[in-house]
Amino acid sequence: MDLNYSQDESAFRDEVRGWIKQNLPQDLREKIANYDELGREDLLRWHKILAKKGWVAPAWPKEFGGTDWNVVQRYIFEEECGFAGTPPLIPFGLSMCGPVILRFGTPEQKKRFLPDIYNGDVFWCQGYSEPGSGSDLASLKTKAEREGDHYIVNGQKIWTTLGHIADWIFCLVRTDSTLSKRQEGISFLLIDMKTPGITVRPLILMDGGHEVNEVFFDNVKVPVENLIFEEGKGWTVAKYLLGHERMNTGRIGASKRELEKLKEFAARQTGDDGRPLIEDSRFRDRLTRVEVELMALEITNLRFLDQMRRSGQPPGADVSMLKIKGTEIQQALTELSMQAVGPMAQPFKSVANDPDFDEFTAGLAPRYCNFRKTTIYAGSNEIQRNIISKMTLGL
């Protein structure tokens, strides 16, 4: 096992780091640094900059705009973007629906959907969770009944991230309710959000932000040609998609950036005794524990990369380790940040005129609240542990 970067990979990292430094717009860099809310245009502007460079979909085949980078180069790119604080590339099109279409789609579907996903001309969202069907996704109840050359979809999805600004949604729907095994009879549909019968209702989170939604389907007509893979085989597609999603939830580069910001703040923030917070033994102990865990997570990720580099195969169920520990570290960093800032962790940006206001404190409390969700999305961490126990350990 080789966990070291080669000379070429180190040179590639320097190239990526230099290009990001020169091409990331300053206003977007500042929005990320201040935890400002990013709108659709902010997200798509960075998307289009990368698409023009040819770097927006590194994992795609070269014939569809991919870079032909190996798995290590793709990881380096993601880590450098996270550490530099670039706007996130919304995964629903590029990293989720796109790979599904590449793997299971027909030539016509690839021609129709992939260019718009690549160029950022269509914004996607995901329709998986339902009331009562989140971690137990196989219990979903949204139905799609075939009538001629259309499906008629009825049901509800919930926690639909960015559904209010999405053009299309990919959905798991039940096309057969008579089968004894719940994973059977589920299909994967692509649905235009402008179709009559779709209603999007906002869910305001405890950070005050509008990020997620409820989506209702009332006799929504979906062309049969929008079915991905075979009818009733949507669970196969879903498992493939979730593997891609969980590989990208560690956010190691972003966590390293947040750790550095926290250390810098703790070095200049003084306590009641006049000493820097970083010199407080209890705080420093918690901080170093998180740093060690982040280092261990990075090494674990490199192990997966080395395995994929040698075998050419996607990771197995144990990739869930990255999701579990990565999201726990993200939460731990926000908790330590709140502890470090104390009363200055105001919930609103109105404190910008306060003499005690510091860039590090901007939007910190809402961010802390928002990050409570990280251990739930992409399959709750409890479910991930069950997956590892069953599929990897054989328990």
For CA atoms 373, 317, 160, 154, give the dihedral sign.
Answer: negative
CA dist 315 and 133 (Å) reads: 26
What domains sit in the chain, N to C, each tagged with a CATH number?
Answer: 7-89 (no CATH), 124-232 (2.40.110.10), 249-392 (1.20.140.10)
The confidence score (pLDDT) of residue 102 equals 97
CA dist 98 and 95 (Å) reads: 6
Average pLDDT over residues 386-390: 86
Measured between alpha carbons, how far is residue 70 from residues 58, 252, 339, 357 in Å? 9, 18, 40, 44
pLDDT at 361 over 80: no
Average pLDDT over residues 76-97: 94
Average pLDDT over residues 127-143: 93
The confidence score (pLDDT) of residue 314 equals 64
CA dist 287 and 285 (Å) reads: 5
Average pLDDT over residues 194-205: 97
Output 29 or 352, whichever has higher pLDDT: 29
Torsion of CA 386, 389, 390, 395, to 10 degrees: -130
Residue 263: strand, helix, or coil: helix
Average pLDDT over residues 33-49: 92
Burial of 127 (0-12, 13-18, 19+ CB in 10 A): buried
Measured between alpha carbons, how far is residue 55 from residues 49, 94, 135, 363 in Å? 9, 11, 33, 30
Burial of 395 (0-12, 13-18, 19+ CB in 10 A): exposed
CA dist 204 and 352 (Å) reads: 24
The confidence score (pLDDT) of residue 352 equals 45
CA dist 302 and 297 (Å) reads: 9
**Confidence grade of residue 334 (pLDDT, cut at 50, 70, 90):** very high
The confidence score (pLDDT) of residue 360 equals 72
pLDDT at 268 over 60: yes
The string of pLDDT tens digits covering residues 182-193 is: 999 999 999 999
With a pLDDT cut of 90, the percent of the chain lying above it is: 69
pLDDT at 246 over 80: no
Output 251 or 193, whichever has higher pLDDT: 193
Q: In the chain, what is the straight-line distance between the N-terminal and C-terminal CA atoms, in Å?
A: 27
Question: What average pLDDT is seen over the chain?
Answer: 90
The confidence score (pLDDT) of residue 351 equals 45
Measured between alpha carbons, how far is residue 248 from residues 44, 200, 300, 309, 382 in Å? 19, 27, 13, 17, 18
User: Looking at the annotation, which residues are catalytic?
Assistant: 245
Burial of 317 (0-12, 13-18, 19+ CB in 10 A): middle
The string of pLDDT tens digits covering residues 315-329 is: 677 888 888 999 999
